[in-house]
Chains A and B, each alone.
Chain A
Amino acid sequence: TQLLEQSPQFLSIQEGENLTVYCNSSSVFSSLQWYRQEPGEGPVLLVTVVTGGEVKKLKRLTFQFGDARKDSSLHITAAQTGDTGLYLCAGAKAAGNKLTFGGGTRVLVKP
């Protein structure tokens, strides 16, 4: 059983549609990070959330940290083909602790 469960595992949508990716755990995290990884490349950090209930926006991407700091979501509005990639969440249980990664959600945005 993974500490961080991401859902769905795979998502295929048309350009212009919205999508939401979830990252869930039964454990509390002091911080949670979202990465996007494109084929043949390493993960690129998108955002870090640290406060329960926190919402951060990055252009068309909206990230939310659950009130209890056990879960997070990533919402993309009006998806573009450039949003295609593997979205990874990673959490640290306490400051100074190593990151634990979720299994990832592979997103395909079709033109």
Chain B
Amino acid sequence: ETGVTQTPRHLVMGMTNKKSLKCEQHLGHNAMYWYKQSAKKPLELMFVYSLEERVENNSVPSRFSPECPNSSHLFLHLHTLQPEDSALYLCASSQTPSGLQYFGPGTRLTVT
């Protein structure tokens, strides 16, 4: 398998649930990203990891908790989300934090 993969592709969760999104990149990249894409809004950068260290956190609420155990895997742990958190969550990777980014297919999250 090549490129950037994300699981699950679709997720419906209640406001009291805890779930995790997973991203895996097979490109040998050193930087990984989480983005949020809502309807009628530009892509919003949430977190950036470089060599497994978080290098950017764009004022994201603490109900979103990222984890990068190694350079190939990135998780986004979710708990006590709000309906307005419903969106497409995209993972991306690049060779370096300034390099060209390659996106996964996204996880469509619905919070009920």
Q: Which residues of A contact B (CB under 8 A)?
A: 2, 4, 33, 35, 40-45, 48, 88, 90, 92, 95-104
Given known contacts A2-B42, A98-B48, A102-B42, is B98 in contact with A42 (CB within 8 Å)? no
Check B21 for interface membership: any CB of A closer than 8 A: no
Q: Smallest CB-CB separation from B56: which chain A residue?
A: A98
Within 8 A of A (CB), among B82-96: 90-92
Check B13 for interface membership: any CB of A closer than 8 A: no
Nearest chain B CB to A88 CB, angstrom units: 7
Q: Smallest CB-CB separation from A98: which chain B residue?
A: B45
Check B12 for interface membership: any CB of A closer than 8 A: no
Which secondary structure dominates where chain A touches chain B? Answer: loop
- Are A101 and B98 closer than 8 Å at their CB atoms? no
Nearest chain A CB to B63 CB, angstrom units: 22
How many of chain B's residues touch chain A, expressed as a range? Answer: 20 to 34
| A-B residue pairs, 10 tightest by C-beta | A42-B103, A101-B43, A96-B98, A101-B42, A103-B42, A43-B103, A42-B105, A42-B106, A41-B105, A42-B90
- Are B97 and A103 closer than 8 Å at their CB atoms? no
Q: Interface digits, B1-38 against A, CB 8 Å rule (1 contact, 0 not)?
A: 00010100000000000000000000000000000000
Cβ contacts under 8 Å, B60 to chain A: none
- Are B106 and A48 closer than 8 Å at their CB atoms? no
Cβ contacts under 8 Å, A104 to chain B: 42
Q: Sample 13 A-B pairs with CB under 8 A, ordered by A number.
A: A2-B42, A33-B100, A40-B106, A40-B108, A41-B105, A42-B90, A42-B103, A43-B43, A45-B102, A98-B56, A102-B42, A103-B41, A103-B42
Cβ contacts under 8 Å, A88 to chain B: 43
Q: Which one of B4, B40, B42, B97 contacts A42 once the chains associate, using CB atoms below 8 Å?
A: B4
Q: Which one of A40, A43, A97, A100 contacts B98 once the chains associate, using CB atoms below 8 Å?
A: A97
Given known contacts A42-B4, A43-B90, A102-B42, is B103 in contact with A95 (CB within 8 Å)? no
Cβ contacts under 8 Å, B103 to chain A: 35, 42-44
Give Cα A2 to B90, complex, Å. Answer: 20
Give Cα A109 to B41, complex, Å. Answer: 22
